[in-house]
Chains A and B, each alone.
Chain A
Amino acid sequence: MSDLTKQVEEIILGAVPNAQVMVRDPLNDGTHLEATVISESFVGMSLVNQHRQVMQSLKNAFSGDLHALALKTYTPEKWSNAQS
């Protein structure tokens, strides 16, 4: 796992309470990452606000090495439905 991937994971963990976070670097280029974030705290939140909470926590990373983050956010329930 690249430094940036680890750093992004830690930042999101710090920003989203009780979250399960998976960050990947599919192109292995260290700038275009993917993240999946699952948290109870998303319940009742609109999709854009779920994403905003994650994206804003990465504001500095975006002005640094992080060029793009393909993001998926789930409540635990939506995640389990997605798995079935």
Chain B
Amino acid sequence: MTIVERIENDINSNRVMLYMKGIPAAPMCGFSDTVVKILQQLGVEFGSANVLEDTELREGIKNFSDWPTIPQLYVDGNFIGGCDIVVEMYQSGELQSLLQARDA
């Protein structure tokens, strides 16, 4: 399975998928921690992958999304953004409506 296939499999089998540094219980970077806290605060179930343990994934995900940093959040298979965008969408309520859109 190529790295792209792996990523596509991840983001299609997890409605909400977070590529991060560390794991939800122990984020290894402030930005990843911020996104984890937001998802947990919203009570959202999400898949996650620790790019620190997988260099191929760490580079592969950046090419896949055309986005040079981690964390990266995906919802319904679409790239949503990094920490700044998730925070801005959370503050505007856009993230909540995006996540509810499919639950209803």
Interface residue ranges, A against B (CB under 8 Å): 47-48, 51-52, 55-56, 58-59, 62-63, 68-72
Residues of chain B lying within 8 A (CB to CB) of residue A68: 31, 69
Q: Which residue of B lies closest to A62 (CB)?
A: B68
B99, CB-defined interface residue at 8 Å: no
Interface residue ranges, B against A (CB under 8 Å): 31, 66-69, 79-82, 84-85, 88-89
A28 to B65 CA separation, bound complex (whole angstroms):
30
Q: Which residue of B lies closest to A70 (CB)?
A: B84
Residues of chain A lying within 8 A (CB to CB) of residue B88: 47
A51 to B81 CA separation, bound complex (whole angstroms):
8
Residues of chain A lying within 8 A (CB to CB) of residue B66: 52, 56
Residues of chain A lying within 8 A (CB to CB) of residue B89: 47
Residues of chain B lying within 8 A (CB to CB) of residue A56: 66-68
A52 to B67 CA separation, bound complex (whole angstroms):
6
